[in-house]
Amino acid sequence: MTITQILYALAVAEHKNFSRAAESQFVSQPALSQQIRLLEKELGYPLFIRSTHAVQLTDAGRSFCLKARSLETAWLQFIDGISALPREVRRLRIGMGSRVYSNHLFEPVVQFYDAHPELEVTFVTEAGHDFLAGLRDGELDLALDRMPPIPLLTTAEDLVAEPLIFERQCVLTSRSDPKAAQQELRIEDLRGCTVMTGLENSMEDRVLRYDLRNTGMVFNRIYRSDSIETNMSLIRAGKGILIGPESFADYYGVAAVPLNPKRIASLDFICLQRNALRPAVAELRTFLRELCHPASLPDAGESGSLHS
């Protein structure tokens, strides 16, 4: 058995719920469940009684956890001890989507790293950057951005994605545009408009083309840019629209008209499963979770893929 399996078992015993235990250990619920099954197989007896309503310890599981608590205490003391030793500077590369800035999260993130001088941080902020590819090829350690629609992912099994902030999707347009006076806009109201997006084959561009296929929307023309500032300058000049989060309105000085039917997208903390337990990654995730206190997940009918 491994110390990780023991910690997972103790987390399930504490939370009496596999999903909450997995969240506390920064791992997916299937991965935690698999490790518990392997542990039980090695031990030769079940640790938990599983039901649809609750998870309870077996008598053998209760005895196991009682003995394992001292091991957990010793392990945490060991981690604290080696963490107090002088450490070499560690490098961390973070992909930063535009929503980080419009939701005013960049300054708190910088303050967080001011308190961690042992970390050398690089912020990757290119508009249209494919953060998921950067995570998988090792260019990035984590990303703060929105997850694309599931059909556009080659696989999501190796990813951890935690929503931090939910926002309503809006039509972003010039404040002088007559559409800015509307309370809501439907997708069909945008027919014939000019739309802004990222460079061809960027994730932003692929999301737009995915939505066009699903909605049958036809735009008059498309402006492409690798700079969100350029796209917003075009919008302020009345050259077109962009589908994006409500927070872009005040931040970039444009109008935001909510879409009808309602669509919700999120700013997510994204990393690979294998990086989720790295202290430098897990500590930032915990900090942002406590800072943002994200609301509960929106109703399925309120979610959507139309987003920037």
Sequence ranges of the domains in the chain: 3-83, 90-166+265-302, 168-263
pLDDT digits 0-9 by tens, 221-230: 888 888 889 9
Same fold, 90-166+265-302 and 168-263: yes
Q: Provide the pLDDT for residue 240.
A: 93
Mean pLDDT of the chain: 85
Residue recorded with tokens 């303050």:
111
Which region among 44-53, 61-70, 80-89, 162-171 has the lowest average model confidence (pLDDT)? 80-89
For residue 127, the model assigns a pLDDT of 58
**Residue 279 clears pLDDT 70, i.e. is over it:** yes
Q: How many CB atoms lie within 10 A of CB 20?
A: 15
Per CATH, the homologous superfamily of domain 90-166+265-302 is Periplasmic binding protein-like II (3.40.190.10)
Q: Which of 19-28, 147-156, 160-169, 190-199 has the lowest mean pLDDT?
A: 147-156
Q: Is the dihedral of CA 234, 239, 245, 249 positive or negative?
A: positive
pLDDT at 167 over 80: yes
Find the mean pLDDT for residues 142-165: 81
121 vs 117: CA distance, rounded Å: 10
pLDDT at 81: 77
Strands (E), 151-288: 159-173, 194-197, 221-224, 242-245, 255-258, 264-272
pLDDT at residue 88 tops 80: no
Arithmetic mean of pLDDT, 89-102? 89
Q: Above 60 in pLDDT, residue 297?
A: no
CATH classification number, 3-83, choose in 1.10.10.10, 1.10.3210.10, 3.20.20.10, 3.30.470.20: 1.10.10.10
What average pLDDT does the segment 46-70 reach? 91
Are 289 and 268 in contact by the 8 Å Cβ rule? The answer is: no
* Segment 64-70 mean pLDDT: 93
Average pLDDT of span 113-119: 87
Q: Highest mean pLDDT: which of 25-34, 251-260, 296-305?
A: 251-260
Specify whether the CB–CB gap between 164 and 289 falls below 8 A. Answer: yes
Q: What's the CA dihedral at 178, 182, 185, 189 to 10 degrees?
A: -40
CATH T-level fold of 168-263: D-Maltodextrin-Binding Protein; domain 2 (3.40.190)
User: Is the pLDDT assigned to residue 258 strictly greater than 90?
Assistant: yes
Q: Which of 53-62, 93-102, 261-270, 290-299 has the lowest mean pLDDT?
A: 290-299
Residue 239: half-sphere exposure toward Cβ, Cα within 13 Å: 14
- Is the pLDDT reported for residue 263 higher than 50? yes
pLDDT, position 212: 74
Q: What is the pLDDT of residue 156?
A: 59
pLDDT of residue 85: 55
Tell whether the model's pLDDT for residue 308 goes beyond 50: no
